[in-house]
Structure 1
Amino acid sequence: MTEKIISDDGSFHTEDEAVDLSATTAEGWLALAFFWVLGATVLYQFITRYVFNDSAAWTEEIARYELIAVVFIGAAIGVAKNNHIQVDFFYRHMPAKMGRVMSTVTDVLRIGFYGAAVFMTIQMMEKIGNQTRMTIVDLPMNIVYGLCLLGFAAMLVRSLQVALIHYRRGYSVLERPESTMEDR
């Protein structure tokens, strides 16, 4: 029997579940912090533009860079949970051993991609140095690229952890789409 939300007398009954933030990763908290700073920046932009009719020019550029930080650092959350877009159709129709090999190749390619992204971001930061500046705010662009580097590095670490989990348990989400990273 399912629990009734509306009782026989027409009253609405529901209980909130306890909130557990213990599983929130460091990059999750950092992405949340950047998100709130982005929200405050956009609110400041809104107030200066529509209330005071004197828009703060720096807010649009800084908000763009804060959004970049949210995306790159937040992408590591998706890597940690292993819930980025994937096609598991073929894995359902191929032999189990072949699926295992293909899944392992996918993990290795993912690690290689994030490793290459970290390496190339470092190279780019070294080439441009602190000479290239932001358009309106007089700060080096390497601050923005450093946030991208942080995101790529976090994705690399998380992809290594995910690959290790897949290796230890003997299957990945590609092979068994009904499983999650919490099924350890």
Structure 2
Amino acid sequence: MNNPNDSQGAQDARSEFVFMDSEVDISDFGTADLPGLIALWGLSIVVFVQFFTRYVLNDSLAWTEELARYVLVVVAFFGAISVSRKGTHIFLEFFYRYLSPVVGKWLTVAMEVLTMLFWAFMSLQAYKLALKTKTKMASMELPKNALYYAVSFSLAVMALYSLWWLIHKIRQSPEDVLREIEESALHDVPK
């Protein structure tokens, strides 16, 4: 147990908390995670207003359902930025155990190239869709293309993080790449 007067102990107490018998490290929160957190809180507020007006006031506001749908999309894509920043998108690590380190490294690099190209291509497509969309939401006077711009932005940021991970993996030794994959796979295994 850490001494509460110890500065390192105080730091550990601030960065970890126990949730359902497992420690959760919250110190890995970056600036890139902030838009997703703000969108999540915005979604919480909109859904609360929707619930309150529908079940307490018995007079639902029509715009809350449509806005909640769009903000949920934004939460998903902004949350994917956080996952890309950490390099923890889901993938099948099973096959890496049976490959030589050199083949495993270059397969990882090839997958990162494909991922980066996919994010960049989809960002471009979302941007083109945003340029073509001129309508407004049905229940509010907000342009629908704002959603597509947000999605395009998040995909572009994900492509940049993927590029960063690509450079990181190219510079690593094959053994280090496979060790990181193994550590990532075993990170959530209960002790």
Normalised by the size of structure 2, how large is the TM-score?
Answer: 0.78
1:135 aligned partner: 138
1:10 aligned partner: none
Q: 1:48 to 1:16 in 2, by over 3 A?
A: farther
Q: What amino acid does structure 2 have at the position aligned with 1:168?
A: R
Inter-partner Cα distance in structure 2 for 1:55 and 1:173: 55
Q: What amino acid does structure 1 have at the position aligned with 2:42?
A: V
| Structure 2 portions without partners, runs of 5+ | 2-9, 16-25, 185-191
Q: Is the 8 A contact 1:79 1:155 kept in 2?
A: yes
Q: How does 1:113-152 map to 2 (within 5 A)?
A: 113-128=118-133, 131-152=134-155
Q: Which has the higher helix share?
A: 2
Shift of 1:175: 2.5
Shift of 1:16: 9.6
Which stretch shows the higher mean deviation, 69-78 or 119-128?
119-128
Shift of 1:38: 0.8
Aligned with residue 18 of structure 1, among 13, 32, 39: 13
1:163 aligned partner: 166
Aligned with residue 38 of structure 2, among 33, 37, 41: 33
Inter-partner Cα distance in structure 1 for 2:116 and 2:152: 15
Q: Which has the higher strand share?
A: 2
Q: How does 1:1-184 map to 2 (within 5 A)?
A: 17-20=12-15, 23-128=28-133, 131-171=134-174, 175-176=178-179, 177-180=181-184
Normalised by the size of structure 1, how large is the TM-score?
Answer: 0.80
Inter-partner Cα distance in structure 2 for 1:173 and 1:78: 21
Q: Which secondary structure does the structure 1 equivalent of 2:14 belong to?
A: coil
Q: What amino acid does structure 2 have at the position aligned with 1:136?
A: S
| Identical amino acids, percent of aligned pairs | 32
Rg bigger for which structure? Answer: 1
Q: Is the 8 A contact 1:88 1:174 kept in 2?
A: no
Higher relative contact order (CA 8 A, sep 6+): 1
Q: 1:165 to 1:172 in 2, by over 3 A?
A: farther
Q: Which runs of at least 4 in structure 1 moved beyond 6 Å after TM superposition?
A: none
